[in-house]
Chains A and B, each alone.
Chain A
């Protein structure tokens, strides 16, 4: 029988077919002729049969076959599809690709699960962080013509972005007549709501009549506050509920308008409900209600009138430019206003003061917080993006390996007429499918994680409500992250696998041996993963070290367990002897709580995250800085029991005693830092300093405690007498001997306050330990977030190393078999196989270390107690990575060395 294949091939030669197409055509025709020959030969004899059949292979007829074949190939990749580039045709192709991808992923359940899970973790982390950033930074209330709105701040050299006092605001509004359509003010405060059997602490925003008109909002129900609620001080007992609180406390009852609620011992009428789109001036701190600023003295007890006191700088001012007024003109006005205020009120307006007009479009949260919040958000975003990158690199290297194994399949498909584009599309669709599953799972994961975070019992100083619902932006982000992941994961392997070297691949039945081509590409990917993971790991280690250092920082007080309660004095007993009597009664009753052995009062609790109190003082022999009239020193007023209750140590002299009452000369206990600043090398006891016109005599020196934050350098500070500096509110500390009882003590303290005076506004009670925890929260959260993400990246990178090494081992099974059959010891084989893995881990580690050095420079400011080049972090993190890396390389290498060489060799 003739060799039909070579006969056909010879005749096809002049037609110059592409090699792949020729192979298939030759095969089909040769098979036909073989069978026809087998049928024909018995009847007519082999010689005749051969002659007959060869006669049919005339070049013209073959040309006809080839022409028809070409026509068939042109428009048939896999099956007939609509021709041309219509949307319908593309859709049909994509549907086909998706079906194919689903079929393939069903055959590879294990791989699909790992892929979907790692993408879910990467995309989930990104979506969760982005949801938070979206809620806090990106989501703006729907204010019409936001570009015409600006925020106004005073500024001084020591404090940028100081809010306004009420008199400042009145002067600003009067002077700016005609320039602004509206000038709004708002202030955040906390107010107790009486629910009959208990009190609820609510966050409220006090606003003026221009506030809602400036925003241009439509109420959900009733009306919003307006100029009619801004006429006389103390005369507007009305509130507008926030949409969130309306849902939470009133089950979204539309009949709530007209009802009354009890706030700080007074009835307020609900006049309306704010729209759901508006959550107050500061994102993340959604107030429960809005009340007129004219009610500030009724809602927030204070020793002075907050509507006339120029020292009460708590108002955030916003303006809407009048038609035709430019931002530049508003700025020019602000400058003339400042000059005027400096001339008229030099006491409150130093010569260095400025007034800043900041366009709303340039503000993320608030100029006060943007400097901290924006970089923190950006660095978190970078971290989670790195995690996603690691997950993508992981999958890309898996798919690369698979693409290599599929190269024969792909080559045949190219030979059958599939275009490279259609194959790339097919492979990308496969990755897209994986990414979509990963993305969907990721969004679910992020919802769960955020839910857990927001319901976690964090020691926050304020009740924070962050609305992290899935809005369009978050969904767009998740989809974009998913698409980016798909392209990253799918495109590279697809382009690699469909390189047009078809014949070579079909010809070679590559069963291993020789350096696998794509290992270099995969190796680079794995090294990259290791590098990124190492950067994250070192960052996490630094945060953990910083946290560890902070845990060891001595606040200088609060070592003994104690209950702490914030309360206000009823307005009829604020200041004077009646307040002192009430305080004495409260303290006596608190001492009777079981286990309590010391009770004391302070007006501004040390290490309060939300409040700060300072006084301008002058010391004989000390010249204030240029433009300043004195030294701003933090202080607090305490009574005789505070040092014992809070555990502040007195070093010399005496503490504040009950004899230091309003009739006695003013006294102060300074801390060591203040003593050293103003009286270095001398004994400050008996010396005096002046605060305004009042002289304070120093009677004692206390240990330096932390005042504003745990990380601060020793801060000059003094304690005054509460009886000589009465405020309308105070913090009471009750020390107990039993740490486990502190929680109970805190609860009982509220009971005592209620017993004495049912109307007494109690803001909050907690334990000393929890109070100190508040200051640790940012570092703890940082350490937690970075630790979590670093662990995630490390796990993903390890899966990558493990995968690439076991793949390399499988590819070299034949080589290993030969080596072992020729007498190589298993140990040598293990060493040989591990070298590959270790080179990847090692080069990744070196790269990662270099990057980490650069990255941690930036983080220096967020760390305390450790330097950015902390040797422990820089040794421990790479070491951990190396150990895990070695394990990931060792396990598959050993498994391979244990296999029976004969079995491996026979497998071909």
Chain B
């Protein structure tokens, strides 16, 4: 289980990654986070939606009511151009961070 601080900092990064290739609705996002992290990360109604709305307010993602054939109307979130830029930047700094941690850890082992 991650500490709340770490979770909060990485949550936006996770949501952006999930929305990178296709728009998803809120429940879909929460399920994917839970399953891909094998239960390490969980978002509930009370934590997920404030996050989504805040990201929307910043213009990183955009929510829209969509009616698909045979399904009910639901709100889908898609990544915006700004969001894609943020994701790129976060991914880069994440890689640098991981690389730094890895190199330190490997030096210790040697």
Contact = CB atoms under 8 A, between A and B. Distances in A.
Interface size on A, as a range, is: 20 to 34
B84 to A, nearest CB: 13
Contacts of B80: 79-80
Contact of A32 (B26, B51, B56): B26
Contact of B56 (A27, A53, A72): A72
B46 A68 contact: no
B53 A32 contact: no
A609 interface: no
B45 A68 contact: no
A64 B8 CA distance: 15
B74 A68 contact: no
A68 B57 contact: yes
Contacts of A75: 57
Contact of A72 (B25, B27, B30, B53): B53
Contact of A65 (B27, B49, B82): B49
Interface stretch (A55-63, A211-219, A360-368, A459-467): A55-63
Contacts of A573: none
Contacts of B50: 64-65, 67-69
B39 interface: no
B46 A72 contact: no
A53 B27 CA distance: 13
B53 A57 contact: no
Nearest to A69: B53
B54 interface: yes
Interface in A589-631: none
Contacts, number: 74
A53 B56 CA distance: 25
B11 to A, nearest CB: 13
A64 B48 CA distance: 11
A741 interface: no
A28 B65 CA distance: 9
Nearest to A25: B49
A74 B45 CA distance: 22
Contact of A68 (B25, B27, B49, B62): B49
Contacts of A708: none
A58 B45 CA distance: 11
A117 B48 CA distance: 52
A28 B46 contact: no
B45 A29 contact: yes
A31 B46 contact: no
B44 interface: yes
A65 B57 contact: no
A33 interface: yes
B75 interface: yes
A785 to B, nearest CB: 54
Interface in B33-77: 44-54, 56-57, 59, 62, 65, 72, 74-75
Nearest to B80: A80
A65 B44 contact: no
Contact of B57 (A28, A32, A76): A76
Which one of B26, B46, B59, B80 has the greatest number of beta carbons of chain A within 10 Å?
B46
A64 B56 CA distance: 15
Nearest to A62: B46
B46 A58 contact: yes
Contact of B26 (A24, A28, A39): A28
B44 A56 contact: yes
A80 B44 contact: no
A87 interface: no
A453 interface: no
Interface string A17-40: 000000010011101110110010
Candidate in B51, B53, B56, B80 with the most chain A CB atoms within 10 angstroms: B53
Task: List the 3 shortest-distance A-B pairs measured between CB atoms, nearest first.
Answer: A61-B46, A80-B59, A68-B53
12 contacts: A31-B25, A31-B74, A32-B27, A36-B30, A61-B47, A65-B50, A69-B50, A72-B54, A72-B57, A75-B57, A76-B59, A79-B62
Interface of B: 25-27, 30-31, 44-54, 56-57, 59, 62, 65, 72, 74-75, 80, 82
Given A72-B56, A76-B62, 13 more contacts: A28-B26, A28-B75, A32-B27, A32-B45, A36-B27, A36-B30, A57-B45, A64-B50, A65-B49, A71-B53, A76-B57, A76-B59, A79-B80
